[in-house]
Structure 1
């Protein structure tokens, strides 16, 4: 739990050292770049100074704001795609370093732009490429840390493990790590063996595995999870928070955008550090999605009935009932941020990393990132037009998808907390008799007993059993 996760093998105290935490913290900061981008771009494109400098008017604001936000997602999509092949060739460390360098170039281009929208677009594409690569590589890197370093470089790998674990290479814990890493590489070689060696053979082998029963439904589950994540309104609020907050009568949109982001960040930290391994994955998504839907239904109803933005635009003032309704709507948005933080915000990333065998996770991380950025591109590109055409209906649109997410997670999302890969195979029907297109949400008693017997045999043979 927390900073000292319990393993199924004796864990020396030295493993929990500042080096490991520092490495993890540095690697994880790459994800902050995505959060930073989504936080600043929404308020930037709504500022009067930005509108004036880049000659943005009411007639072209929807098109330009749509382009500025969506080219980032387009770049991120291709960044995630290219990341797979670059990682296979150079490893995760160099992939991250190259990505950060690309991000810096893009940031410099946007800062240097004065009246040239072309520089803004180009900078957004480059920063998107970096964020796409990071979302595809950071989760796996955090989970594995040193696996890429061992490829034909045993001595260097031993030094890395000694440094990270703070133990000598002769220690049984390090030797077991080395065994697991080699076993993982052998599994990857086995996936590629039908088609030869190298990245292309591995790619073809992964596609072959994905086409099998018990793998197809996992691939589709990842697609559904990230699609529902991006169509539930959070990304839209991130990128277009000034527009959305204005629609409920808020004038200081920058302040409330900051408060919204802070609430979401703090809630996420509390849940994922303290509760995710106690409560699990499935139930939080069910509760979160339903609560978020209720919040957005209220906000949409308030905008429909009171229409505060139109009153303020006409130079009028809000009545006391209108004002109180706006305060309640603002509170609903903040409650939405709290509930969203322990549901579809991070659970899709956790589940997508847990349900696949280790040999496939480099590719499945890329697949998850591709779905994430493709669906986010669609919603960020279309949202300005949706808001112009639908108004309050935009809030109902997102609330409707959250109701779908509630039903989907109840019916189709399995609980993956603490399950082994063998138990995942049972849940999804991989190498199991009969037809099982829909993953079971829990193991039956007979399946659990059978799985335990299988695991004991495997444990005796390998002296270690990996739990996700």
Structure 2
């Protein structure tokens, strides 16, 4: 059953996405504000290098924070890492707000804030995927992307109002300082939530894990549902412990881990290589062809489409398969880019867009269609898929490396887009269109269908070599009684993977299945 605690836990943790979205969304508005230009620009404008550095250093910071967060998550725990990262982010905001004339100080503030955001981008999806019931896990983890879009939209709205209301540094300092409020809300409220039950179990806190699972599922701690889930976790943990302490490089050498680590990195990088930022970059030019000159209005229109589509995307995550949705989204975005690139290059008058209103309208339509495709598929789904791909033994470092690839390409695109578009203009869309086409086939040939499966079932699918193209119909019962997992010395009983929470009614009178503490993994 859907419980209030599960929804609340997912919502509070997703504030990490809101913080990132807000920090990312506000900078485009700052760069156009008169006071910000006067303080940090060069003769009233920004060079491509200075603008790219100010924007891109956030992504470098997130890359560093992301790589460090895996180790921190395994030491402090998931919720304490989230709280610490939120409060660390505030340090970066203080550096930004206190900047007077030195653009380097503001840029380094974004770098510092980025380290906190990077840690959140790993720890939040990890915490959500390990905690909430599997029937809402995809939608809950995908809500991280929804909160990113809400954060971007909120920043657009606040920038629009402060730019019009003030003529001094309050234009950018007020929206900038508000970032601290969102971090305080997350950093404080997450401490009232339970720790990830899977992390607690690995630390030997068996009763805490059992009680948390029961509260999140809305059943008795000793019901059949919880007994079987604890049994799954315990058997996986014993198999992990039998292999000894996992060095970091085992995310590449462990059972089926090279496959999963590279796939996770490609999917996270692919979220950037779909080219969503390209559309936001050229959005102002396109909308000018219909007479909309105010860049803040343009941003709000695009941001509103993004938010509305992402809300619809949560339904897709909950009700449609991961593979079908990602492939459909990639094909849809490929089509949009082909039309966008060729119409923009051969039909639109770039010097005088008002002279080609039909071309402008076509570009606007396909801009919005692209945003809908991204926001309903690759935006939310990548966080869900990567969050459930790895076994608990390797989850923290593998997710950190995968998410780091997202931030690396985020930086590369944000820094070099200005240079590239100045050189090839709308043909830049062909690059992203090609990436979307490649991602379609990567998902088709290599990614498992993981909808409505427990994390332990998903691990078994990868280690037992299930064909991704047939993974949607895979059932644990097709395995022999004991499956010898490829490259793994441990034997995993197939019956443990047959758990389906819909098959087990609440049974408060059941006896506890696990009376002893598990062997602790360090």
TM-score by length of 2: 0.72
Match of 1:216, SS state, is: helix
1:299: Cα distance to partner? 2.2
Cα distance in 1 between the residues matched to 2:286 and 2:446 = 34
Aligned partner of 2:372 in structure 1 is 338
Cα gap change, 1:177/1:254 in structure 2, threshold over 3 Å: closer, same or farther?
same
Cα distance in 1 between the residues matched to 2:230 and 2:474 = 34
Cα distance in 1 between the residues matched to 2:441 and 2:496 = 42
Match of 1:270, SS state, is: helix
Q: Greater shift after overlay, 207-216 or 262-271?
A: 207-216
Conserved in 1, the CA contact under 8 Å of 2:250 and 2:257?
no
1:260 correspondence with 2:302: yes
Aligned partner of 1:281 in structure 2 is 322
Cα gap change, 1:162/1:348 in structure 2, threshold over 3 Å: closer, same or farther?
closer
Aligned partner of 2:182 in structure 1 is none
Cα gap change, 1:183/1:276 in structure 2, threshold over 3 Å: closer, same or farther?
same
Cα distance in 1 between the residues matched to 2:218 and 2:320 = 32
Q: How is 1:109-120 mapped onto 2 (pairs within 5 angstroms)?
A: 109-120=95-106
Aligned partner of 2:241 in structure 1 is 189
Cα distance in 1 between the residues matched to 2:474 and 2:225 = 33
Q: 1:292 aligns with which of 321, 333, 336?
A: 333
1:302 correspondence with 2:343: yes
Cα distance in 1 between the residues matched to 2:259 and 2:241 = 24
Q: Greater shift after overlay, 407-416 or 365-374?
A: 407-416
Cα distance in 2 between the residues matched to 1:348 and 1:366 = 14
Conserved in 2, the CA contact under 8 Å of 1:218 and 1:355?
yes
Conserved in 1, the CA contact under 8 Å of 2:58 and 2:111?
yes
Conserved in 2, the CA contact under 8 Å of 1:30 and 1:138?
yes
1:226 correspondence with 2:268: yes
1:211 correspondence with 2:258: no
Conserved in 2, the CA contact under 8 Å of 1:248 and 1:299?
no
Q: 1:78 aligns with which of 36, 56, 64?
A: 64
Conserved in 2, the CA contact under 8 Å of 1:136 and 1:365?
yes
Q: Could you report, residue by residue, the CA deviation over 1:422-454 in whole angstroms, capped at 9, with x for unpaired residues?
A: 8757865x456xxx9xx5421598997633866
Conserved in 2, the CA contact under 8 Å of 1:72 and 1:124?
yes
Cα gap change, 1:182/1:57 in structure 2, threshold over 3 Å: closer, same or farther?
farther
1:247: Cα distance to partner? 8.1
Q: 1:451 aligns with which of 479, 486, 490?
A: 479
Conserved in 2, the CA contact under 8 Å of 1:458 and 1:465?
no
Cα distance in 2 between the residues matched to 1:175 and 1:407 = 40
Q: Could you report, residue by residue, the CA deviation over 1:104-124 in whole angstroms, capped at 9, with x for unpaired residues?
A: 121222222232212211211
Match of 1:346, SS state, is: helix
Cα gap change, 1:55/1:374 in structure 2, threshold over 3 Å: closer, same or farther?
closer
Cα distance in 2 between the residues matched to 1:448 and 1:159 = 27
1:202 correspondence with 2:243: no
1:34 correspondence with 2:68: no
1:442 correspondence with 2:470: yes
1:106 correspondence with 2:92: yes
Cα gap change, 1:323/1:52 in structure 2, threshold over 3 Å: closer, same or farther?
farther
Cα distance in 2 between the residues matched to 1:237 and 1:67 = 20
TM-score by length of 1: 0.79
Count of residue pairs brought into register by the alignment: 427
1:416: Cα distance to partner? 3.1
Conserved in 2, the CA contact under 8 Å of 1:223 and 1:371?
yes
Aligned partner of 1:87 in structure 2 is 73
Match of 1:115, SS state, is: coil
Aligned partner of 2:385 in structure 1 is 351
Cα distance in 1 between the residues matched to 2:430 and 2:496 = 55
Aligned partner of 2:114 in structure 1 is 128
